[in-house]
Amino acid sequence: MNLFQQLFVVSIFLVTIYILIISWRQAHDQKNSFGLAGWLYPFGIFVWGDALIIALFWLLISVASLLFNDWLLFLLLVSLFWVVRSWGEVNYWLLEQFSGIHRNKAKDLLGFLIVKNDSIFFIYQVFWQCCLVFSLLFAIYFAHLWLIRF
């Protein structure tokens, strides 16, 4: 890894330690596991309960990438994470679309002002399907680059 890549991975490591501390306070101390954690969306963390587990994942891949000094391994693990996370979100929004019980009120979702009805649920589902496709393509690409080195 070059210096920029190392600094990037170290910054992810440090940020995830901070996220773990905050998420413990939110989920455990304040009993706010389902509270939205909007600024953590780029990490695949949507609620504070997610953060307790997903931040550990980011911490572990940062450590592994630094120990092996392997930028491609970091990118591969991140893209594989997004494959799994996107697949989970596709399923979540598919189930949310047809459930009688809605954890997310349509009117509170980003994009509702454009569609103004329950179609926002399938828009979220399709958005996550697109994320799944892109993350799968990146995972295949990074796996190829990583494997040809051996």
Helix (H) or strand (E) holding 70: none
Cα dihedral sign, 94-95-96-98: positive
pLDDT greater than 90 at residue 76:
yes
**CA dihedral of 57, 124, 79, 141, whole degrees rounded to 10:** 170
What pLDDT, in 10s, does the model give residues 2-32? 999 999 999 999 999 999 999 999 999 999 9
Query: The whole model's pTM is what?
Result: 0.90
pLDDT at 117: 86
Q: What is the mean pLDDT of residues 34-57?
A: 95
pLDDT greater than 90 at residue 97:
no
Q: What is the mean pLDDT of residues 38-67?
A: 96
- ∠ CA 42-5-54, nearest 5°, is 35
pLDDT at 25: 96
Contacts 24+ apart (CB under 8 A), 53-57: 55/16, 55/19, 55/20, 55/23, 56/16, 56/20, 57/81
pLDDT at 23: 96
pLDDT greater than 90 at residue 60:
yes
